[in-house]
Amino acid sequence: MMNETQPARLDGARHVSEELSPERCWELLRSEETGRVGFVHHGRVMILPVHYLVRDHAIYFRTAPSGFIGEPSARLQTSFQVDHTWPDRSEGWSVLVSGPSSHVLEEETIKELWGKVMPEPWAGGERTLFIRIQADLISGRHVHLS
């Protein structure tokens, strides 16, 4: 008979899922360099890997001006996800940022971004357009054994 004051657990379900604070989410975002950007393009969900950096609570990455997210009319609602796992420890974390993306047009910001150490994009072609994802929502989870 199950105790009604305890949550139901499946046999072998020994994991704990902890919500991360926004501050911890930003720390974890700064600790990685590759993430996935998701958006809808002509009615189709697109999820693309990108190298990125964090500046002033926003995500920045480079793309081609003529690519899916680089189109001149692109002012997209986007989601951005980064995670890290330790399979041998049955542990991992994931951070999700959601908000509008836009082309970076401010000359001072562009100069600063070009001066940052950032891995070259893996995709071929010229990747000279910086995209900014402004974080309207940020959330994260850390899952580990109890």
The domain that holds 62 is classified in CATH as: 2.30.110.10
Q: How many domains does the chain have?
A: 1
Residue 9 lies in a domain: no
Query: Taking the CB of residue 13, how many other CB atoms lie within 10 A of it?
Result: 9
- How many CB atoms lie under 10 A from the CB of residue 46? 14
Query: How far, in Å, CA of 126 to CA of 138, rounded?
Result: 30
The answer on pLDDT for 137 being more than 90 is yes
What are the CB-based long-range contacts (under 8 Å, 24+) for 30-35? 30/54, 31/84, 32/82, 32/84, 33/118, 33/119, 34/82, 34/119, 35/59, 35/80, 35/81, 35/82
Residue 102 lies in a domain: yes
Domain for residue 7, yes or no?
no
Bridge partners of 132, per DSSP, are 60, 102
Q: State the average pLDDT over residues 101-108.
A: 88
- Does 82 reside within a domain? yes
On whether residue 6 sits in a domain, the answer given is: no
Whether 5 maps to a domain, the answer reads no
Give the domain extent around 42.
Answer: 15-145
pLDDT in tens, 112-124: 887 775 666 666 6
Is the pLDDT at 9 greater than 60? The verdict is: no
- pLDDT tens sequence across 65-84: 877 777 655 567 899 999 99
3-state secondary structure at position 25: helix
4 in a domain, yes or no? no
Output the average pLDDT for the chain. Answer: 83
Q: Is residue 46 part of a domain?
A: yes
Q: What is the pTM of this model?
A: 0.80
